[in-house]
Amino acid sequence: MTEVTSTSTQAKETSAADAADSTATAARPSAGSGRGSRPLLEVRGVTKRFGGIQALSNVSLEVAPGETVGLIGPNGAGKTTLFDCVNGLMHPDAGTVIFDGQRIDGMPVYRRARLGIGRTFQKIELFAGATVREQLMVAEREKRGDGRLWKDLLWRGAPSPEEVDEVDQMVKSLGLEDVADTPAEAISLGQGRLVELGRALVQRPRLLLLDEPSSGLDSNETTALAAVLTVVRRDFGTAMLLVEHDLDMVAAAVTRVYVLDFGRMIASGPLDDVLSDDAVRAAYLGQAPLAPS
Amino acid sequence: MSQFLSYAIPGLPYGCVFALLGMGLVLTYQTSAVFNLAFGAQAYASALVFYVCVSDGWPTWAAFLVSVVFGAPLLGVVIDLGLFRFVRSRPVLVKLVAALGLLIVIPAVLQVAFGTSNRYSPPSLWLSPSTVYFRVLGDPINGGELSTVIVTAAVALLLSLMFHFTQTGLRMRAMAESPRMVQLAGLSAERVGMTSWMLSSFLAGLAGVIIAPVFGSLQSLNFTQLLVAAVAAAAAGSLVSLPYTFLGGVILGILEEVLGGYLPSGNVLSSGLRPGFPFIVLLALLLFLPGLRRRWGRTDDPLAACDPPPAPIASTMRDPALYRATRIGTTVFVIAFVLSCLTWITDNWVFTLSQALALSIVFLSLVLLTGMSGQISLCQAAFAGVGAFTAGQLAMHFNLSILVGIVAAGVVAALVGVVVALPALRVGGLALALATLAFGLLADNIGFQFSWSLNGDSGISLPRPTLGPINFSSDRSFFLLIIVVLAICIAIVEAIRRGTTGRQLAALRGSELAAASIGINPARTKIGVFALSAGLAGVGGALYGSLDSSVSASDFNTLVSLVFVVVVATVGVYTVEGAIEAGLAYVLLNNLVTSSLPSSWASLLEIVFGAGAVVYVLHPEGVIEYLKRFAIEHLVRGGGERAEAEVLA
């Protein structure tokens, strides 16, 4: 892997990105939210190529603890690739990923998960054959991290009453009681997305990567999901990075957004500012004015 | 240089046969997503039919028409229609078991049809191997070699022209992507699939007839071993590229002969290393070819999600009252069974039942590995062999009690398991199956031939253990020991199923991506379970050996491993009972066949279990598990709940 790209390369952003950055600085959490100086997640100059295709080109972003940040852009912009680089499913060709002050690019997926990075998937990934409750219980047990083969062999591997309780509560707060003992294959897509979310939340992640959580959901399900996200933010203080095409949902959830296009970060800042940015309109939204209703 | 060439040139015809078989494998893998392990058996079928026709006085061309031109594609159509078209979107395990079933059934059926007599010096297809046509750098080129090279080159050329310039070729390439998309484009995926099965079966038949004269006599095991070389060739083409597969096969054949030429003759290593070479190449390719790993990671159709989920296993369907009744019933039965074995049942039967229960421990290792972790091992018998020789050698040379030896057997087999699993587990599914197959064949050819291991077919002896004043030399006391060890092994497997590891395994089986994303370390979990499974097999092997008092390499060869997988998968690989039922079924049926039926029916057992594997495709939960579910739904619960169960299923 290529060595770290420093802040000097980071400075070589395009003029569009520079323009957007200047609008964004006012909204930077470090300056605006007063949550302390160190961001929870820092992505610096990440580059990823697939053969001849430049999927990510010198992309940088930050998420502060407890902050919800949107990541938008047209299909194929590289949003999921960026998620994969943060969560470890892919390793960037260049650049660094820093989580809570610790460099994590190069770490395998499971270790990043143990540090507190949870995620959901654009193409839903449930444990086939397991019931909703079991899906959450696996995650709950992993959170405790004290499951060992030898403990199982001594018949000490059964979940404790607290763990069962915790899972029950999560099932309840997601409104999944009716399907709690149904296998993953037999539930609807909307419920499946909630289960994925619950599986991540049970682990109390510090950062949650949400990859198009409302895709394939009807408007009722989307509303329910948005409500859950609000509760999560309020009660758990989880930081979130949200990839989403539904701009209403983005507007309701985030403090600011980053815009990716063809693997390049072309703008960042509060949603309204970004949507009125010329570069964003030209590259992503077309020429017609567009704002969340 | 000339010495090198004199070794290399005779390797070319071998390489051509590897290439033919490899191309056939790639063809079916691409168009039907099945890695056809029965390919060698298909080659054997054509070679055998050809032999029989020629020895009945038919002209060679007529025999060739019947065995290769018509017979081989017909066999392809039959196995496509009867089996493989139903398994495309099934999990790797189902596909492999189906192919293994065929691998075992085809030679067994042929044995019943054509008898088991030895068939020496198989006839050549075209040019006579005893005529030297010309010399290259002084080396004679005989008719057999010449015809092999010419035929292979012609077939490869035609195949590549067909793939790139005909409509059929285009359709086959489309099938490789997704048969459902082919259907959506208005074509019959079934027909395209069948064409490719006919074509690949023709290649298998052709290769079989061409290679047959090389073997002194026609034996199906030779053709099974040939398969590994073909797999290595296909791996060289990353399972997609026909030209690279061709090249891979040819190079492999040449290297094998060169290696054979330079190695000193006369010791185990050199006589084993040459046939073992393709396995080593395959392992190396698995390790170092990243494209291959990606290819083998991909197992399903992009539209596979259209398939309904599998039926729930019977044990999850029991209602509390039924569950309690079953539990009490089982306990009473087990106590009655043990007491009967200790009192009134004859010694012969106690011995047979002990064999079944010792094998159940080996089968339990498959329940842990395949049923719970979704991994496939085709060398469990080799692990059992490692266990048996560990216990035996420790007893012989260090005078250690077999009881200590049994524990040591588990530990050593587990360590060997780690070594086998480490390279392949990152790749998963099919790659692990092939790596274990390669390991099993290496153990047969080299590992088990040394006097410090199983000493080849001469075997080693294992004493019965003693524990202080208790002597386990009688069959009844040894039966009790086996029951105790089996109970411990069952407790281990159940503890894992109910514990964190069981949940992790279920998660990994469901989605490795999601499992890693919640903090599960896939490699560590899988290697741990693989090692434990190998350890259980080792313990089972040591007990089995001690029961029989002696074991040899043939007790634990690769064919035995393959039969093990098929038996357990057929009977029920998801439950502990499944392993015990499989052990009993295997040993009792074997006993029945060998003691009560005429010798011409010797292969009946293979046919029964091979056919069982084919049934398995329809009921992947296992036949007995299926019958239980059927009974629960139809006899116990009645109509209303049955409808509900069907909705769930």
> Which residue segment(s) compose the domain that A150 sits in?
130-204
Residue B634 banded pLDDT, cuts 50, 70, 90: confident
- H/E element, B514: helix B512-517
Quote the minimal CA–CA distance from B521 to chain A in Å. 6
Residue A111: which of B451, B487, B517 has the closest Cα?
B517
Identify the domain boundary among A157, A183, A204: A204
For residue A119, report the phi and psi dihedrals to the nearest 5 degrees. -150, 160
Question: Between chains, do B496 and A89 touch, taking CB under 8 Å as contact?
Answer: no
Alpha-carbon distance B447 to B442, whole Å? Answer: 7
- B-chain residues near A88 (CB < 8 A): 516
Nearest by CB: A142 against B312, B506, B520: B520
A223 in a structural domain: yes
Nearest by CB: B495 against A125, A137, A152: A152
Say if residue B331 is exposed, middle or buried (CB neighbours under 10 Å; 0-12, 13-18, 19+).
exposed
Site of tokens 């892997």? A1
Q: Which structure tokens are listed for A118?
A: 């949870």
Contacts of B347 (CB under 8 A, 6+ apart): B475, B476
CATH code for position B276 = 1.10.3470
Q: Which structure tokens are listed for B34?
A: 């099945």
What's the structural domain count of chain A? 2
Angstrom CA distances, B477 to B343, B473, B546, B547, stand at 11, 7, 13, 11
Residue A267's DSSP bridge partners are: A259
- In chain A, which residue's Cα lies nearest the Cα of B512? A127
In a shared domain, residues B464 and B552:
yes
In a shared domain, residues A190 and A272:
no
Question: Between chains, do A110 and B509 touch, taking CB under 8 Å as contact?
Answer: no
In a shared domain, residues A136 and A258:
no
In a shared domain, residues A29 and A161:
no
A256 in a structural domain: yes
Residues A96-121: tens digit of each pLDDT? 999 999 999 888 999 999 999 999 99
Nearest by CB: B499 against A127, A158, A196: A158
In a shared domain, residues A193 and A182:
yes
User: Tell me, what amino acid is at A35?
Assistant: R
> CB of B516 within 8 Å of any CB in chain A?
yes
Residue A183 banded pLDDT, cuts 50, 70, 90: confident
Question: Between chains, do A152 and B500 touch, taking CB under 8 Å as contact?
Answer: yes
Residue B413 is predicted with a pLDDT of 95
- B-chain residues near A203 (CB < 8 A): 518-519
Question: What CA dihedral angle connects B114, B116, B119 and B125, to 10 degrees?
Answer: 30
Residue A120: which of A139, A99, A148, A101 has the closest Cα?
A139
Residue A177 is predicted with a pLDDT of 87
A123 in a structural domain: no
> CB of A189 within 8 Å of any CB in chain B?
no
- In chain B, which residue's Cα lies nearest the Cα of A203? B518
What is the overall mean pLDDT for chain A?
80
B327 in a structural domain: no
Q: Which structure tokens are listed for B278?
A: 């393709």
- B-chain residues near A154 (CB < 8 A): 495
Question: Between chains, do B510 and A128 touch, taking CB under 8 Å as contact?
Answer: yes
Q: What is the DSSP string of B134-182?
A: EEETTEEEEHHHHHHHHHHHHHHHHHHHHHHHSHHHHHHHHHHH-HHHH
Residue B275: which of B26, B18, B459 has the closest Cα?
B18
In a shared domain, residues A166 and A269:
no
Question: Between chains, do B500 and A110 touch, taking CB under 8 Å as contact?
Answer: no
Residues A14-23: tens digit of each pLDDT? 333 343 343 3
For residue B140, report the phi and psi dihedrals to the nearest 5 degrees. -70, 140
Question: Between chains, do A119 and B519 touch, taking CB under 8 Å as contact?
Answer: no
User: Tell me, what amino acid is at A198?
Assistant: G
For residue A62, report the phi and psi dihedrals to the nearest 5 degrees. -135, 145
Question: Between chains, do B516 and A203 touch, taking CB under 8 Å as contact?
Answer: no
User: Tell me, what amino acid is at A182?
Assistant: T
Number of cross-chain residue pairs from A and B with Cβ atoms under 8 Å apart: 127
What's the structural domain count of chain B? 2
Of all residues in chain A, the percent with pLDDT exceeding 90 is 27
> CB of B492 within 8 Å of any CB in chain A?
yes
Contacts of B615 (CB under 8 A, 6+ apart): B570, B623
Average pLDDT over residues B178-185: 80
Residue B313 is predicted with a pLDDT of 56
Average pLDDT over residues A196-220: 89
A263 touches A77 (CB < 8 A): yes
Question: Between chains, do B501 and A155 touch, taking CB under 8 Å as contact?
Answer: no
Identify the domain boundary among A188, A204, A220: A204
Of all residues in chain A, the percent with pLDDT exceeding 70 is 83
- In chain A, which residue's Cα lies nearest the Cα of B504? A138
Question: Between chains, do B507 and A114 touch, taking CB under 8 Å as contact?
Answer: no
Residue B316 banded pLDDT, cuts 50, 70, 90: low
- As a whole number of Å, the end-to-end CA separation of chain A is 44
Angstrom CA distances, B545 to B383, B553, B615, B642, stand at 13, 11, 32, 46
Average pLDDT over residues B280-308: 61
Q: CA angle, corner B413, sides to B407 and B417, nearest 5? A: 145
Quote the minimal CA–CA distance from A185 to chain B in Å. 6
B101 touches B607 (CB < 8 A): no
In a shared domain, residues B355 and B281:
no
Residue B343 is predicted with a pLDDT of 84
A125 in a structural domain: no
In a shared domain, residues A16 and A94:
yes
Q: Which structure tokens are listed for A26?
A: 């006012």
Highest average pLDDT, of A266-275, A276-285, B476-485, comes from: B476-485
Identify the domain boundary among A156, A173, A204: A204
Query: Does B74 score more than 90 pLDDT?
Result: yes
Identify the domain boundary among B241, B270, B299: B299
Residue A109: which of A95, A91, A89 has the closest Cα?
A89
Question: Between chains, do B498 and A134 touch, taking CB under 8 Å as contact?
Answer: no
In a shared domain, residues A81 and A221:
yes
In a shared domain, residues B157 and B219:
yes
Residue B355: which of B320, B384, B378 has the closest Cα?
B384
In a shared domain, residues A144 and A102:
no
Which has more pLDDT, B266 or B37? B37
In a shared domain, residues B245 and B353:
no
- In chain A, which residue's Cα lies nearest the Cα of B516? A110
Question: Between chains, do A199 and B514 touch, taking CB under 8 Å as contact?
Answer: yes
Residue B270 is predicted with a pLDDT of 65
Of all residues in chain B, the percent with pLDDT exceeding 70 is 90
In a shared domain, residues A222 and A95:
yes
Residues B483-510: tens digit of each pLDDT? 999 999 999 999 998 888 888 998 888 8
- H/E element, A193: helix A189-201
- A-chain residues near B513 (CB < 8 A): 89, 121, 125
B326 in a structural domain: no
Residue A245 banded pLDDT, cuts 50, 70, 90: confident
A98 in a structural domain: yes
Residue B220 is predicted with a pLDDT of 82
- In chain A, which residue's Cα lies nearest the Cα of B490? A153
Nearest by CB: A147 against B501, B506, B511: B501
Buried b (16+ CB within 10 A) or exposed e, A252-281: bbbebbbbbbbbbbbbbbbbebbbebebbb
A72 in a structural domain: yes
In a shared domain, residues A100 and A159:
no
Contacts of B338 (CB under 8 A, 6+ apart): B480, B483
Question: Between chains, do A157 and B532 touch, taking CB under 8 Å as contact?
Answer: no
Question: Between chains, do A125 and B511 touch, taking CB under 8 Å as contact?
Answer: yes
Highest average pLDDT, of A266-270, B62-66, B445-449, B600-604, comes from: B62-66
> Which residue segment(s) compose the domain that B206 sits in?
2-299
Question: Between chains, do B518 and A118 touch, taking CB under 8 Å as contact?
Answer: yes
Query: Does B358 score more than 90 pLDDT?
Result: yes
Alpha-carbon distance A281 to A223, whole Å? Answer: 27
Interface test with B, best of A84, A89, A90, A110 (most B CBs within 10 A): A110
B218 in a structural domain: yes
Q: Is A63 left (phi over 0), alpha (psi -120 to 50) or beta?
A: beta
Average pLDDT over residues B453-482: 84
Nearest by CB: B513 against A89, A137, A142: A89
CATH code for position A44 = 3.40.50.300
Alpha-carbon distance B179 to B193, whole Å? Answer: 9
The C-alpha R_g of chain B, in whole angstroms, comes to: 25
Nearest by CB: B513 against A125, A134, A200: A125
Residue A44 is predicted with a pLDDT of 92
B425 in a structural domain: yes
In a shared domain, residues A273 and A191:
no
B169 in a structural domain: yes
Quote the minimal CA–CA distance from B206 to chain A in Å. 40
Q: Which structure tokens are listed for B223?
A: 């053709």
Residue B470's DSSP bridge partners are: B467
ipTM: 0.81
Interface test with B, best of A127, A137, A150, A182 (most B CBs within 10 A): A127
Residue B619 is predicted with a pLDDT of 75
In a shared domain, residues B295 and B361:
no
Of all residues in chain B, the percent with pLDDT exceeding 90 is 19
Interface test with B, best of A84, A107, A109 (most B CBs within 10 A): A109
In a shared domain, residues B96 and B19:
yes
Angstrom CA distances, B37 to B186, B253, B546, stand at 31, 20, 33
Question: Between chains, do A139 and B518 touch, taking CB under 8 Å as contact?
Answer: yes
Buried b (16+ CB within 10 A) or exposed e, B300-325: ebeeeeeeeebbebbbebbeeeeeee
Nearest by CB: B509 against A88, A129, A142: A129
Across B78-87, B130-139, B430-439, B546-555, least confident range = B130-139
Residue B642 banded pLDDT, cuts 50, 70, 90: very low
Question: Between chains, do B515 and A138 touch, taking CB under 8 Å as contact?
Answer: yes
> CB of A145 within 8 Å of any CB in chain B?
yes
The C-alpha R_g of chain A, in whole angstroms, comes to: 20
- In chain A, which residue's Cα lies nearest the Cα of B513? A125
Residues 50-109 of A with CB under 8 A from B: 87-89, 108-109
Quote the minimal CA–CA distance from B305 to chain A in Å. 10
Average pLDDT over residues B336-346: 85
Highest average pLDDT, of A133-147, B78-92, B307-321, B405-419, comes from: B405-419
Quote the minimal CA–CA distance from A155 to chain B in Å. 5
Alpha-carbon distance A128 to B335, whole Å? Answer: 38
Quote the minimal CA–CA distance from A148 to chain B in Å. 7
Alpha-carbon distance A259 to A275, whole Å? Answer: 10
B406 in a structural domain: yes
Query: Does A233 score more than 80 pLDDT?
Result: yes
Question: Between chains, do B511 and A148 touch, taking CB under 8 Å as contact?
Answer: no
Highest average pLDDT, of A33-42, B590-599, B640-649, comes from: B590-599
Q: Which structure tokens are listed for A144?
A: 């405790």
B330 touches B645 (CB < 8 A): no
Question: Between chains, do A142 and B519 touch, taking CB under 8 Å as contact?
Answer: yes
A219 in a structural domain: yes
In a shared domain, residues B389 and B514:
yes
